[in-house]
Structure 1
Amino acid sequence: MQKAIKFKNRTWDVAANLHLPEDFNEQHSYAAIICVHPGSSVKEQTAGLYAARLSQEGFVALAFDASFQGESGGEPRYLEDPATRVEDIRCAVDYLTTLDFIDNERIGILGICAGGAYAANASLTEKRIKAVGTVVAANFARANSERNALQILEAVGKQRTAEANGTPAFITNWTPASIEEAQQAGEVEMDMAEAIDYYRTPRGEHPRACNKLLFTSMGAVVAFDAFHLAEKLLNQPLMVIVGDRVGAFGSYRDGFELYNKAASTDKHIHVVHGASHYDLYDQPFATNEALGKLIPFFKAQLQSINL
């Protein structure tokens, strides 16, 4: 059962789907889990898949579109701003606390890919979040340190100057639109090929996951270290899920970095053998195994008995 809702981030609306258990009763008190989507994604894709499965296990699960993207408001459009992405999560917690059927002491979070990095980062300072799960969490700072970050920043500076002087905003793609386009750009590698297969084919595409990125976003994204101070501040129970078919996006390494770095005394990491980054978005053999670890983890940490 799913209900479309909205909550506020600053002055604009964030669009979300509230996934409710089949036997939902407003008179009961439920544990809630916020599901955070990857970069370039929307709430109906992999975050919605995990949210739906969690709701089948008795949780209320909230999947939302990031500000500036999908059905959510905010300008400029297609901005990927790490600070606002983290604030979206805080605002989602705010919203859940207004619902009489949510137990404010039983709120958890689950993030996929970049959403996993944002989920971990928000949990550093948002202690209303009581349990943290990540699936193929990808840390922007690590990813961009392996690219020509200085060249990107030089280009961002030039583009900002141009836009300040009247040039239209530069909207680029998150991924090549097709394998052929990737081949022409010399970018065909396992993770990139599977990103195209998930986002740009009937497998996982959605009309509001439009593959558009405001290029000047990269000025903030390049230096965003989602795990900074995790060794001091990330003290909530933690479950990290990675796959061992390792591609260029680096989520296997990032998952182990988060696990090793977190201050949590109750922390776990699970490797889904034979799974790639994008297998853990939607492929049943991979997502079932991931959820087989995440569901009991959240039940134990959030005591998800409906009172």
Structure 2
Amino acid sequence: MKEVKFKHKGWEVAAIIQFPKDFDETKIYPAIVCAHPISSCKNQTSGNIYGKALAEAGFITLAFDASHQGESGGEPRFLEDPATRVEDFRCAADYLTTLSYVDNGRIGVLGVCGGGGYAVKAAMTERRFKAVVIVVAANYGRIMREGDYTPGAAIRTLEAIAAQRTAEANGAEPFVTSYIPVNEEARKQTGINDIDIVEAVDYYTTPRGKHACSPNKLLFSGLAAALNFDAFHLADHLLTQPLHIVIGDRPGAFGSYRDGYELFNKAASAKKSFQIVAGASHYDLYDQPEATGKALEQIIPFFKEYIG
């Protein structure tokens, strides 16, 4: 494993590159870009579960922190901007092509949760990605539009964003909110008992998955672009690479279960496969050995077939 950086516009993106056992830099290997969920970082599921396992299976893997987040550069901080996130993937592909030991014709992409949605969007216009795997992929734009599931939620959010931008333009401090409740006690106070929220708090705020590069901070005034983003728009025209979709059979509020079915039915890929991990929730497929092990039983052969 090695920490590296690559360019994105005027800043650098921080990443971890992992190598197969007995790596020989005089040889050429297939490579996979691994993308983290919304609010996550390279040191969590994208890097330390999927990136690690795929490296052990013989691939070069590159897991990166999204621009404006974690150890990556970009101002303002804690910005979640879909266009920038998608461009991160292209910059990651650029970087891989500079490595003499990477086969430029055998680059794949894997994304988890929101990173899966972004991976799909990137693959539509990034033809250097020859195979696509998404694990519990969530369409971030859809999540933002649904809001609290009450009529007019998206419009109310946009009105609040507009008011906050006006305040900040006139000298107010940026409003940094959180993605999820800050701990289990805060979650209980909200009264929200949905499985995805409960397990998100467990994953991100306890030793199970907590990491300093994933501080549960979100710049509110930067959210407008997310509300008209659709990770799957034009997938029926532009997503033609081999595609493997992984979901669990315990649905929750983040909607990766239904998003998986939507994308499978929509994607133009002539070769596509769908894997349902029995008994697994959204967050089981982040780090729980039984669930991730079952997912990898199909992910690894998929990548070996199409880029290995």
TM-score by length of 2: 0.97
Deviation readout 1:259-295 (Å, 9 max, x if unpaired) = 1100000000100010000000000111001111100
Q: Structure 2: how far apart are the matches of 1:275 and 1:145?
A: 26
Q: Structure 2: how far apart are the matches of 1:107 and 1:45?
A: 22
Show the counterpart of 2:56: 56
Q: Which one-letter code corresponds to 2:128 in the other structure?
A: R
Matches within 5 A, 1:154-169: 154-169=159-174
Deviation readout 1:123-177 (Å, 9 max, x if unpaired) = 0100010000000000023223322111111100000000000000000001101
**Structure 1 residue 102 displacement after superposition:** 0.5
Q: Structure 2: how far apart are the matches of 1:178 and 1:215?
A: 20
Q: Structure 2: how far apart are the matches of 1:73 and 1:142?
A: 27
Deviation readout 1:28-61 (Å, 9 max, x if unpaired) = 1100000000011010000011000000000000
**Structure 1 residue 183 displacement after superposition:** 2.3
Match of 2:265 among 260, 264, 274: 260
The reply on whether 1:108 has 2:116 as its aligned counterpart is: no
Q: Structure 2: how far apart are the matches of 1:177 and 1:34?
A: 30
Show the counterpart of 2:154: 149
Show the counterpart of 2:6: 7
Matches within 5 A, 1:1-307: 2-48=1-47, 49-147=49-147, 148-302=153-307, 304=308
Q: State the Cα RMSD in Å.
A: 0.8
Structure 1 portions without partners, runs of 5+: none
**Structure 1 residue 224 displacement after superposition:** 1.0
Deviation readout 1:80-116 (Å, 9 max, x if unpaired) = 0000000000000000000010000000000000000
Contact 1:35 1:62 in 2 (8 A): yes
- The secondary structure found in structure 2 opposite 1:155 is helix
- The secondary structure found in structure 2 opposite 1:91 is helix
TM-score by length of 1: 0.97
**Structure 1 residue 184 displacement after superposition:** 1.9
Q: Which one-letter code corresponds to 1:142 in the other structure?
A: R
Q: Structure 2: how far apart are the matches of 1:218 and 1:255?
A: 24
Q: Structure 2: how far apart are the matches of 1:97 and 1:247?
A: 38
Contact 1:179 1:188 in 2 (8 A): no
**Structure 1 residue 71 displacement after superposition:** 0.5
Q: Which one-letter code corresponds to 1:86 in the other structure?
A: V
Aligned pair count reads 302
Show the counterpart of 2:150: none
% identical aligned pairs = 58
Q: Structure 2: how far apart are the matches of 1:194 and 1:220?
A: 27
Q: Which one-letter code corresponds to 1:27 in the other structure?
A: T
Q: Structure 2: how far apart are the matches of 1:155 and 1:146?
A: 15
Q: Structure 1: how far apart are the matches of 2:219 and 2:12?
A: 20
**Structure 1 residue 21 displacement after superposition:** 0.7
Q: Which one-letter code corresponds to 2:280 in the other structure?
A: A
Contact 1:108 1:132 in 2 (8 A): yes
- The secondary structure found in structure 2 opposite 1:130 is strand
Deviation readout 1:229-278 (Å, 9 max, x if unpaired) = 00000000000000010111110000111111000000001000100000
Q: Structure 2: how far apart are the matches of 1:41 and 1:89?
A: 16
Which stretch of the first structure deviates more once superposed, 57-66 or 185-194?
185-194
Q: Which one-letter code corresponds to 2:270 in the other structure?
A: T
Moved over 3 A (4+): none
- The secondary structure found in structure 1 opposite 2:252 is coil
- The secondary structure found in structure 2 opposite 1:43 is coil
Q: Structure 1: how far apart are the matches of 2:57 and 2:183?
A: 37
